[in-house]
Structure 1
């Protein structure tokens, strides 16, 4: 079978049987497409069913010179999953990625914003513009609830349970969770909803979507990245930040102020506590404080 056909079958498998998010599916599809394009560029005529380990190794070696270890590791993982699927479906008897090791990437963490820097960034928003109230509500929600950018743009008005103090969030793999929301964040969402959103001409398909662009449609991931980058530049913040920086800051600040790691895990929607530990990069000072405060042998 051709690459395109099996890639399509794999995408359907990821969507229907694995229940992965569209972003994850798109990334896996791109990994396979990179291999397809490389084979075409090098005039190598081989199918997914017959491609050898040697050819795959050559592809990985050439790609390794062009991308960082983290990107290389993700590519290897994506292709290994694809060939595992082919073995499972009896298209192949072996996985040509089996002996290819992923590079060690270490744990790299994004920059964290201090509370002062977050205030600076919000202070840079021009509230005289209609989108100003919206952008303030967006930043407050990213930081106040620790959302992923995909969770933010997918947030519905029907997901807001302000009386109970929660919002319903749809995360990776369409898994839903309830996240606490504070009065501070609620205030700015309501200012946007009641002062700006009600006056916009909203497209039918976005009637329940909370954050809208000027055409009355749902915002895109790219637009949220642009908003954050422009505000950081205007506020004079030199750190390399993105929408995810607010999620990381949310977890870090909660931990530093004494929040339980398990509670943070639930709010972030992490399946593994190890992932939460990476995001919150526990520092030695915090660990020392924990020992001094809670250990039964602490000094009086």
Structure 2
């Protein structure tokens, strides 16, 4: 679950609130995307592998894509933040990692690989280009 969650956050640049509200039926496996009325985002092959492994192991009927470990129900934002903190601690990272930092990494990666600002803006779901430019500064 941790690998699936981390890969999903890093490879989509989604806000933590978007991920918390995400249901399994929102995933389009044919083009590795998550689409809804807000926007469509894409995830990489590694994310697809970890998501499928995680979902295949689940025995519950909860529609949420990410559920708690003990009493299987939709994970809260606080629970996701705790998991990110747990992952960074186990990785030996001596500073606290936040979900929003993964969005920054995602945006920076796109910029460094040649994506235009307007594309990055669209993928991040920013209404104003200034928000994207500020994020990348």
Aligned ranges 1:141-152 → 2 under 5 Å = 141-152=8-19
- 1:239 Cα shift? 3.0
- 1:165 Cα shift? 2.8
Match of 1:183 in 2: 45
- Structure 1 stretches of 4+ with a deviation exceeding 4 A read none
What is the SS of the residue equivalent to 1:167? strand
What is the SS of the residue equivalent to 1:176? coil
Match of 1:153 in 2: 20
1:163 to 25, 30, 36: 30
- 1:164 Cα shift? 2.6
- Structure 1 Cα separation of the partners of residues 83 and 135 of structure 2: 23
Q: Map Cα deviations across residues 177-215 of structure 1 (whole Å, 9 max, x no partner).
A: 111222221111001011x21x24x4xxxx321111121
- Structure 1 Cα separation of the partners of residues 31 and 9 of structure 2: 19
TM-score (norm 1): 0.44
1:250 to 88, 106, 117: 106
- Structure 2 Cα separation of the partners of residues 136 and 255 of structure 1: 24
- Structure 1 Cα separation of the partners of residues 125 and 51 of structure 2: 22
Q: Specify every segment of 5 or more residues in structure 2 that has no aligned partner in the other structure, as ranges.
A: none
TM-score (norm 2): 0.92
- 1:238 Cα shift? 2.0
Which is higher, the Rg of structure 1 or of structure 2? 1
Give RMSD over aligned pairs: 1.4
1:223 to 79, 86, 103: 79
Aligned length: 136
Match of 1:209 in 2: 64
Is the CA contact 2:2–2:87 (under 8 Å) kept in the aligned structure 1? no
Aligned ranges 1:111-130 → 2 under 5 Å = none
Alignment of 1:268 onto 2:121: no
- 1:240 Cα shift? 3.2
